[in-house]
Amino acid sequence: MRKTILKVLATLLVVSLLLTNLSGYSKVKADNGTKTVNVYVDPRIELLYTVELLSGYSVTGYYNNTQYKKEILDYFSAFKSHPAVKKFKEMSRRGFGY
């Protein structure tokens, strides 16, 4: 079982590195006079959240009934049968979380 978990984590890492890079963060800069706020969205975290949503992971309730969640589910619905999603579903049933 430990080998399986390590395989899945390695697969998720490779996929996230292939699909993104560290300079690929979505950046938003708000400038209000002298105060500046920089917001960065890590695409690797978004990938993991998307896998959670597609797997039906019950703990993922951060974005219940939001447009963001609906758009993710609509856009990535073809990947519900992806091996990474299936593996995450199986692992979460056995108590895996992060």
Mutual angle of helices 2-19 and 43-55, in 10-degree steps: 130
Q: Is residue 27 part of a domain?
A: yes
Distances in whole angstroms, Cα of residue 83 to Cα of each of 11, 26, 61, 68, 74: 10, 27, 23, 24, 19
Q: Is residue 98 part of a domain?
A: no
Q: How confident is the model at residue 16 (pLDDT cuts 50, 70, 90)?
A: low
Residue 21 pLDDT greater than 60, yes or no: no
Q: Is residue 25 part of a domain?
A: yes
Mean pLDDT of 58-75: 78
Percentage of residues in the chain having pLDDT higher than 70: 65
Q: Is residue 36 part of a domain?
A: yes
Count of domains forming the chain = 1
Q: Is residue 73 part of a domain?
A: yes
Q: Could you identify the residue written with the tokens 């108590």?
A: 95
- Which structural domain, as residue segments, surrounds residue 79? 2-93
pTM of the model: 0.59
Spatial distance between the Cα atoms of 78 and 80, rounded to a whole number of angstroms:
6
Residue 66 pLDDT greater than 80, yes or no: yes
Which of 16-30, 49-63, 73-87 shows the highest mean pLDDT? 73-87
